[in-house]
Each structure stands twice: as structure tokens, then as C-alpha cells.
């Protein structure tokens, strides 16, 4: 198992929190409800590890600068959809536990709003996404190197 790779992805996921504090609209989402700050941080970490797991082969096949750039653009927005899905799931679980009704409209409207916020934050999302892509690719290279040296 590539524990180092997933540890790096978790740390990079934590790094999304300060990055997304830069634009005011994503900052409001992350810290407006003070009770949700740690939950949002945890969701960013889980999202990052999930993206690293689901797209390991895609990240691994990166060879050129344009590959890094493309993945640095696409993967954060895929991560946004995963984050919003996890956020919705937790919201639904809380609603079920406390006997509230689940509002499907609110759950579905979250996707266009969340993605539009992320798109408007492209000036921080894409550079950090490219950075994450590069670091994840390097983490994979180091894992392969360690595995080869162990043989």
C-alpha cells in the first residue's frame, strides 16, 4: 500500500483550507458557521485522499508540463464535486438522525453553486491544483523508487 502517497494527499487536502480562504465567497462557505470549520477541513482531507485514490493512474501517467496543467485544472473541480457529495451525505445523515426532512432541491442546487464558487476562485484553485498534481506525481515516483530499492 502506498501510505506515503496517501499521507501526502491528506496534507495537500489540508492545504486546500487556507487556499480557499483567499476568495471571500469560498471563505464564507468554509468559516461562516464556526461549528463547521473542523468538519470542512476533514472533508477537504477526505476529498483529497479520495481523488488521489480514484485518479492514481491518471496522476501517474503525467509526463509533460501540459499534462500537469490539465490535471491541475480538472482534478480540483472533480474534487469539488466529491466534496459537495460528501457534504450532502453528511447533511442528509444529520437530517435523518435529528428527524428533519431531506430537501432534495437544496442538495441538488449545491452543485451549481459550489462549482461556480470554485470556478470563480480559479485564480487560487488552478495554481494550487497544479502544485498538488506535481507533488502527488513526485510522491508516486518516490514510492516506486522505495519499492525498487527494497527488492
Reported as a pLDDT band with limits 50, 70 and 90, residue 2 is: low
- CB of 126 closer than 8 Å to CB of 134: no
Reported as a single tens digit per residue, the pLDDT across 12-37 is: 999 999 999 999 999 998 998 898 89
pLDDT at 91 over 90: no
- 86 contacts 43 by C-beta, under 8 angstroms: yes
Q: Which of 102, 84, 83 is nearest to 92 (CA)?
A: 102
d(Cα 70, Cα 130) in Å, to the nearest integer? Answer: 8
**What's the predicted TM-score (pTM) here?**
0.89
Amino acid at each position: 500500500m502506498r501510505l506515503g502517497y496517501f499521507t501526502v494527499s491528506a496534507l495537500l487536502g489540508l492545504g486546500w483550507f487556507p487556499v480557499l480562504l483567499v476568495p471571500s465567497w469560498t471563505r464564507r462557505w468554509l468559516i461562516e458557521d464556526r461549528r463547521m470549520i473542523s468538519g470542512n477541513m476533514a472533508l477537504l482531507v477526505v476529498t483529497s485522499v479520495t481523488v488521489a485514490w480514484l485518479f492514481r493512474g491518471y496522476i501517474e501517467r503525467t509526463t509533460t508540463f501540459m499534462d500537469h496543467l490539465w490535471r491541475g485544472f480538472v482534478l480540483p473541480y472533480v474534487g469539488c464535486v466529491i466534496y459537495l457529495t460528501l457534504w450532502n451525505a453528511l447533511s442528509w445523515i444529520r437530517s435523518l438522525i435529528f428527524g428533519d426532512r431531506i430537501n432534495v432541491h437544496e442538495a441538488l442546487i449545491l452543485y451549481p453553486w459550489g462549482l461556480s464558487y470554485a470556478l470563480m476562485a480559479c485564480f487560487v484553485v488552478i495554481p494550487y491544483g497544479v502544485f498538488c498534481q506535481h507533488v502527488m506525481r513526485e510522491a508516486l515516483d518516490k514510492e516506486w523508487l522505495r519499492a525498487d530499492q527494497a527488492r
